[in-house]
Amino acid sequence: EAQVTQNPRYLITVTGKKLTVTCSQNMNHEYMSWYRQDPGLGLRQIYYSMNVEVTDKGDVPEGYKVSRKEKRNFPLILESPSPNQTSLYFCASSFTGGAGILTEAFFGQGTRLTVV
């Protein structure tokens, strides 16, 4: 079954304790991306990756790191989480069509992170 898998689904952590949210896709997609979703602000892109070892900042990259060492995995790293990073996080992947077109994105089920 084609899917994007995020783990964990729920996480409560303390300020400053490094954490990683994993994301894996089984569709051989080139493009992967991380978003956070906050009430009243919608989905905002954190980082994205066009292929292995190619990443770029989205709209809200501060406080986050990513890596793309393999095509299927795109972990999100919070080196020193703070309460303002409490949010619902989504990972997504898609094929890149011709002429720079992003096709349908498949989303993971989300990770609800609380930083206290």
Partner 1 sequence: EDKVVQSPLSLVVHEGDTVTLNCSYEVTNFRSLLWYKQEKKAPTFLFMLTSSGIEKKSGRLSSILDKKELFSILNITATQTGDSAIYLCAVGGSNYKLTFGKGTLLTVNP
Cβ atoms of 30 and 51 closer than 8 Å: yes
Nearest to 49 by CA among 80, 92, 113, 85: 92
Q: Is 99 in the site for partner 1 (CB under 8 A)?
A: yes
Does position 110 interact with partner 1 (CB under 8 A)? The reply is yes
**Per CB under 8 A, 5 contacts partner 1:** no
Site track 55-94 with partner 1 (rule: CB under 8 A), x = hit? -x-xx------------------------------x----
Which amino acid is it at 109? Q
111/9 Cα distance (integer angstroms): 4
* 35 or 81: CB nearest partner 1: 35
Q: How far is the CB of 14 from partner 1 (least distance, A)?
A: 27
Tokens representing 116 are 């206290």
